[in-house]
């Protein structure tokens, strides 16, 4: 690059090194900054550097100066993310099951780098390794990007959808014919990423796991008004669904032991109305998507929780309990 052009790049390089390698605990000394600029082929002296720093401050970059071993040192005061914020983001990446091991490492590195080189090193040293069983679909980023574009453009999307067998082989739904759906929203629930969409052969919204999609494409057709309107209902749907399984929406009444108040509030929200009906028993009525995961959630509490209404679901609850007991008796025989 021509020397005059390099000099024009000086402010950009200066801001770059301050953002990457300085913070309050690690100011960059004047001599180190000048050496860095010389390595880029840019001439600069101490007086000019001070003027450049003043100009950056005039533009709102908040470059602080301190005395550092008998010379001035500089660091960037304001950053987009604090260390605790970056810690939360890195932990979320580590815990997310839909991100593969390879992508987890790459993304965690990028998140850590947002704090500068010194903080990045600290964050990586204290990284938490969650016991998250990562999935193997390396196309997740591509799938998310394609679906996000389809949502932004208001167009339909298509994909192959599969499960895995005992050999980890892909078993495709619909004999490997493409699903064509109207995307409503991307939803992250319980360590998994889902697409909520309107499907032509189903009533109400359908839900698909992002990590089970393959060869996702944007279709030329625009989505319907119903799909656009459904976007406003996403928070309510996600709050009522269990593990994002679709099912008929019903209002159910649950009676439960005092010890489960926290679990109920965690599941249905801290604003859930709860009434006391006994010395150690409470009751609430909540909307749910009735599905296998809902029954599983209910079963886990044994005799500490029961479904008291409506009557037809009480009867289904009893049938399911009887069927499980019978199955276990037969297996024992």
| Spatial separation of the C-alpha atoms in residues 118 and 76, rounded to whole Å | 12
Can the peptide bond before residue 310 be classed as cis, meaning omega within 30 degrees of 0?
yes
What's the pLDDT score for residue 22?
Answer: 78
| Spatial separation of the C-alpha atoms in residues 268 and 291, rounded to whole Å | 16
Is residue 313 within 8 Å of residue 307, measured between CB atoms? yes
What's the pLDDT score for residue 183?
Answer: 95
Instruction: Tell me the CATH number at 66.
Output: 1.10.10.10
pTM for the structure as a whole: 0.58
| Spatial separation of the C-alpha atoms in residues 244 and 228, rounded to whole Å | 20
| Spatial separation of the C-alpha atoms in residues 26 and 77, rounded to whole Å | 11
pLDDT in tens, 313-324: 999 999 998 898
More confident residue, 21 or 253: 253
Domain extent at residue 301: 249-332
- Pair (56, 96) in one structural domain: no
- Pair (104, 166) in one structural domain: no
What's the pLDDT score for residue 5?
Answer: 61
185 domain-assigned: yes
Q: Mapped to the 3 state alphabet, what secondary structure does 189-256 carry?
A: ECCEEEEEEECCCCCCEEEEEHHHEEEEEEEEEECCHHHHHHHHHHHHHHHHCCCCCCCCEEEEEEEE
> Number of folded domains in the chain?
4
236 domain-assigned: no
pLDDT in tens, 187-231: 887 777 889 999 988 777 888 988 899 999 999 999 999 899 988
- Pair (221, 273) in one structural domain: no
pLDDT of 128 > 80? The answer is no
What's the pLDDT band for 305 if we cut at 50, 70, 90? very high
Structure tokens at 220: 């030329």
| Spatial separation of the C-alpha atoms in residues 326 and 92, rounded to whole Å | 41
30 domain-assigned: yes
132 domain-assigned: no
- Pair (155, 219) in one structural domain: yes
Listing DSSP states for 285-311 in one string gives EEEEE-SHHHHHHHHTTGGGEEEEESH
Structure tokens at 94: 């580590």
240 domain-assigned: no
Q: How high is the mean pLDDT of the chain? A: 83
Instruction: Tell me the CATH number at 318.
Output: 3.30.70
pLDDT of 240 > 80? The answer is no
| Spatial separation of the C-alpha atoms in residues 231 and 73, rounded to whole Å | 51
Instruction: Tell me the CATH number at 176.
Output: 2.30.30
Highest-confidence range of 86-90, 102-106, 260-264, by mean pLDDT? 260-264
Mean pLDDT of 163-169: 82
Mean pLDDT of 73-97: 73
| Spatial separation of the C-alpha atoms in residues 226 and 138, rounded to whole Å | 32
pLDDT in tens, 108-127: 787 777 766 656 665 555 55
| Spatial separation of the C-alpha atoms in residues 116 and 65, rounded to whole Å | 17
pLDDT of 237 > 80? The answer is no
pLDDT in tens, 58-78: 877 788 888 887 888 888 866
């Amino acid at each position: 690059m021509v020397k005059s052009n390099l000099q024009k790049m000086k402010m950009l390089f200066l801001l770059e090194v301050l953002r990457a390698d300085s913070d309050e605990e690690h100011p960059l000394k004047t001599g180190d900054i000048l050496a860095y600029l010389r390595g880029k082929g840019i001439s600069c002296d101490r007086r000019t550097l001070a003027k450049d720093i003043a100009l950056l401050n005039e533009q709102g970059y908040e470059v602080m100066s301190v005395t550092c071993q008998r010379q001035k040192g500089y660091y960037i005061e304001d950053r987009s993310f604090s260390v605790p914020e970056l810690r939360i983001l890195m932990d979320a990446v580590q815990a997310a099951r839909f991100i593969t091991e390879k992508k987890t490492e790459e993304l965690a590195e990028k998140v850590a780098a947002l704090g500068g080189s010194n903080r990045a090193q600290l964050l990586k040293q204290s990284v938490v390794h969650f016991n998250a069983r990562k999935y193997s679909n390396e196309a997740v980023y591509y799938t998310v990007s394609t679906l996000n574009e389809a949502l932004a453009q208001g167009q339909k999307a298509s994909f192959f959808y599969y499960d895995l067998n005992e050999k980890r082989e892909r078993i495709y739904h619909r004999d490997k014919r493409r699903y064509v759906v109207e995307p409503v929203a991307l939803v992250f629930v319980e360590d998994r990423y889902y697409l909520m969409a309107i499907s032509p052969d189903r009533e109400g919204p359908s839900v698909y796991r992002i990590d089970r999609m393959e060869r996702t494409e944007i279709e030329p057709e625009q989505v319907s008004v119903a799909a656009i309107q459904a976007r406003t209902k996403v928070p309510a749907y996600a709050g009522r669904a269990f593990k994002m399984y679709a099912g008929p929406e019903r209002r159910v009444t649950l009676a439960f032991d005092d010890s489960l108040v926290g679990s109920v509030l965690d599941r249905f929200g801290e604003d859930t109305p709860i009434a006391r009906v006994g010395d150690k028993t409470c009751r609430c009525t909540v909307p749910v998507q009735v599905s296998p995961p809902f029954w599983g959630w209910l079963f886990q509490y044994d005799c500490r929780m029961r479904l008291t209404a409506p009557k037809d679901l009480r009867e289904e609850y009893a049938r399911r309990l009887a069927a499980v007991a019978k199955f276990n008796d037969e297996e024992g025989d």
